[in-house]
Chains A and B, each alone.
Chain A
Amino acid sequence: MRKDRDRDRSSRLFRTYDCPEGPILHVPQEEESIASAVEKAGETGRVVVAAGSYRENVWIPPGAEITICAETSQRPRLSPADPELPVLHVAPGAALCLIGMAVHGEKSGVVFGSPAQGEPARAVIILDSYIADAEYGIYGLAEDFRIDSSAVGATGTACPWLGPFRSPTPPSQPTQWAPC
């Protein structure tokens, strides 16, 4: 009981950012790539990605609020076309919700805001996703940052639904699918 109370108190500390509603664009049916769908979405939109592998670098421009989510519980695999650039780069003032995706970086996975200039992204919400194999998995500045039910690390890093305190190993029960 006391533990639950602590968690409630902890969660109340945060103003949670709501992932944006907006027109839906399907990849690869309506748009060939995630990057082009984001561009077409403009200020607000949802990009629904079918299962498969995608090799591209996606830029979320300033002011845009974009949700990128998987169409099914099979996580689409997103890796960089240019390995020196982030797979997903959220500009200062922009917001990204990433749901049910597998991001395989090389140098960096998800980068947000401008660390060099000290300019934050509006929000970065990562749910039910993997960020794997990047030298820098996730980094940047954001006004709101939330990551839930996800894994960050090398390939093979499990995404466990964590068990009770002090269980010797994390159970391997799969995470619940959260559609967009």
Chain B
Amino acid sequence: MGAVLSGTSTPSCAGASYIDNQNNVSIQKVNVSNNKKGGIAICNAASASIVDAYVHQNTVFGVLISSTPGFSLLNVRVGETRAWKGKFGDGLIVTHSSGLVKDSQFSANKRANIIYYGKSGGTLDNNLIIYAMFSIVLDGKDGSSPNPIIKNNNYMYGNRENRVTFGSNLASTPPPKLPTL
């Protein structure tokens, strides 16, 4: 695991409700690569910003944003995320969160380049989404529907499913399991 960063709640990225605790997470000009249990997980923060980051060749997931009502990813490159025990391997996972994903590149992630789960939203603007099995998956597992605005300037190329896929019931990535001290 590269980084698990959280607000004041226990960093279970399985959390399903929004909280507002004024916690800030900022990641800028950072390379998070070659981690065996995931790249960056941000859970239960009030706001999070990832700018100019390079997230490559991590296992399980690249970036996971959970229960964070305001986040932004600007100029982030997430690529070559590897599967774990033959499963998962997603570039960006957004669950119960809302935010802007802009000017970023998602490439050659093992399963999906981008997945939105549950009640998630925000905007996808001017992103390059290439060479994965799925481009963008919107999966309302708990009965609610993710509804991000996907602008038509997002460029999908070379994915096996070169489109937005709805309700594919992909297995959810397990939340990060942290060591006890």
Contacts and interface: CB of A to CB of B under 8 A. Distances in A.
Interface in B1-48: 1-11, 22-37, 47
The interface residues of chain B, by DSSP majority, are classed as strand
Contacts of B105: 165-166
Interface residues of B, number: 49
Interface stretch (B49-57, B82-90, B146-154, B165-173): B49-57
B74 A149 contact: no
Interface string A119-161: 1100000000000000111111111111111111110111111
A143 B32 contact: no
A152 B2 contact: yes
Most buried by B among A141, A149, A154, A170: A141
A175 B7 CA distance: 29
A151 B8 contact: no
A14 B28 CA distance: 13
Contacts of B4: 136, 138-140
Contacts of B37: 135-136
Contacts of B27: 146-148
Contacts of A138: 2-5
Contacts of A111: 181
B103 interface: yes
A108 interface: yes
Given A120-B7, A143-B8, A152 B70 contact: no
Contacts of B74: 3, 6-7, 10
B3 A152 contact: yes
A74 B2 CA distance: 23
A6 B2 CA distance: 26
Contacts of A3: 74-75, 103
A153 B32 contact: yes
Contact of B178 (A115, A137, A166): A115
B174 interface: no
B158 to A, nearest CB: 15
Contacts of A7: 51, 74
B31 A170 contact: yes
Nearest to B1: A136
13 contacts: A3-B74, A13-B49, A15-B24, A89-B181, A116-B10, A141-B8, A146-B28, A147-B28, A150-B30, A151-B31, A154-B34, A165-B75, A175-B29
